[in-house]
Amino acid sequence: MPTEDLNPHSKEIDTLSAEEIIRIMNDGNLRVAEAIHAAKDSISHAIHDAIATIQSGRNLTYIGAGTSGRLGVLDASEIPPTFGVSPDVVRAIMAGGEGALTESVEGAEDDEDAGIQAVSTVRNRDMLLGIAASGSTLFTIAALKEGKRRGAKCWLLTCNDVGYDFLDGTIKLIVGPEIIAGSTRLKGGTATKIVLNMISTVAMIKLGKVYKGYMIDVLPSNKKLRARAVGIIQEITGCRIEEAEAFLDKAGGNAKTAIVMYMKGLSHEGAKELLEKSENSLRKALKSSF
């Protein structure tokens, strides 16, 4: 497996200066962009499946072990505050449970039974995205097989040239050997994080969670995010800060609803109804003649 191979640029790496090692690492990271570009078609297909899954009221679940699992947890945990969706929309399952987020759990990635049990709540028409740099992690592959048996759409995100007949698709990020053989938290991890960002972000954009580059469904759960929501309302509507704050409060903290209320002259309930008729798209709601 390329992920386990020795990088020819690393044979004397322990004798090099920090500056020389940085150069080697940076040169290697250029391969990440190339690998992602080469996988763009499969990434796009996975995104379309994710959109269809979420639109149908089902959820997208990442599942993995070690670095791969942690990256899934990181991406999934950022979705609710950024896009104002329930934590159930994009979920993450980590081999070894929550404790494995900060400490290695002995044998967790090899536990096929645990992988099967981990997806016991996966439903027909859900989407399961297995993350495994090696493409062969027993926990993850067992989970995907069980997910497929349950009727889920099943994808694998890997850094090796592997595939399984039962899968709906595979995203192959062939970044080559790491500068430390087998340490896929490096190029492999970077490529994986970027692609997870792409899948979740593009899905949320196409589901109406972004307007003109603004995160219009941001949850104003702290001072910084409230200021961001107020600023978004100001930028889009052109209103004064006092009006933006007032409309945000009237809209129950939802910037998108506040914008529709202000620009369409609607009540809170009227704005929510218009957004529902407009498939939760601010662009469609603002153009609507309802």
How many other CB atoms are found less than 10 A from the CB of residue 148? 18
* 269 in catalytic set: no
SS3 205: helix
DSSP 4: G
CA distance linking residue 131 with residue 158, whole number of Å: 6
Return the bridge partners of 90, or none: 60
- Sheet containing strand 90-94, edge to edge, reads 90-94, 60-64, 127-131, 153-158, 169-172
Q: 4, 34, 78, 273: which one is catalytic? A: 78
Residues 6 or more apart in contact with residue 137 via CB below 8 angstroms: 64, 65, 66, 68, 95, 109, 130
For the chain, first and last CA: distance in Å?
Answer: 58
DSSP codes joined into one string, 18-86: HHHHHHHHHHHHHHHHHHHHHTHHHHHHHHHHHHHHHHTT--EEEEESHHHHHHHHHHHHHHHHHH---
Q: Is 78 part of the annotated catalytic residue set?
A: yes
Closest CA to 48 of 203, 276, 190: 203
Please state the length of the chain.
290
Q: Are 85 and 79 in contact (CB under 8 A)?
A: yes
Residue pair 232/222 in contact by the 8 Å Cβ criterion: no
Residues involved in catalysis = 78, 109
